[in-house]
Amino acid sequence: MAAPQGEAEPMRQDFPDPDLLHPIPATPRVVQLAPLIASQDAVANVSAGRFSYYDDPEHATGFLARNVLYNFGFSGARLEIGSFCAIATGARFVMPDAMHAMGGVSTFPFAILGGAFAAGLDLGAYPFPQARDTVIGHDVWIGMEALVMPGVRIGHGAVVAARAVVTQDVPDYAVVAGNPARVVRRRFPEDEAARLVALGWWDWPVQRIAAAIPALVQGGIAALERAAARH
């Protein structure tokens, strides 16, 4: 019996493994972030959902050290990356620990040098701006050498252009570019974006996602809604 229109039955049952560090054979430049993060117990404030990957021809496995910047843990903030995200070479995330206190005359962090400078005022007493978590939604594409500043939320299905500097929240299914990054277009109008978020296909079982790939890649929202209704 043929599969319903917009949804194909997978020909094979060898589904991709979300726990495999290098998901593409003989392609070490691509690493899945969830198993990479899990392998480095010292980093507890960064998380990634299934199948999200980072692509880098030279330093793929160095993502946490080279691409998550100023992650000293002072602020207590987190970096949360959703599922099915694609992050290109050199994209970087600045953690709130990079921020300097601006409530006084000087922005210099004297206390980090220790000694009499630290005795003058404890680092915890500096008027740092309130730290927010940086949250990357599901199905987000971040272009080469983009820079994501602390505390922003990049919505589900968004696209960040190469070398964009993201300083404020990005709506669901928006495309942003420039420095500072601005919305250049919407992939879907707000009402349709809300329908896609409600479907939450990124949370479906992998078998269901595999069957819905034609609707996800070639179809529209209605086709995906029909695929969801059949399950």
Q: Reduce the secondary structure of the chain to three states and give it as a string.
A: CCCCCCCCCCCCCCCCCCCCCCCCCCCCCEEEHHHHHHCCCCCCCEEECCCCEEECCCCHHHHHHHCEECCCCCCCCCEEECCCCEECCCCEEECHHHCCCCCCCCCCCHHHHCHHHHHHCCHHHCCCCCCCCEEECCCCEECCCCEECCCCEECCCCEECCCCEECCCECCCEEEECCCCEEEEECCCHHHHHHHHHHCHHHCCHHHHHHCHHHHHCCCHHHHHHHHHCC
- Note if 231 is an active site residue: no
Catalytic residue from among 59, 100, 138, 231: 100
Catalytic residues: 100
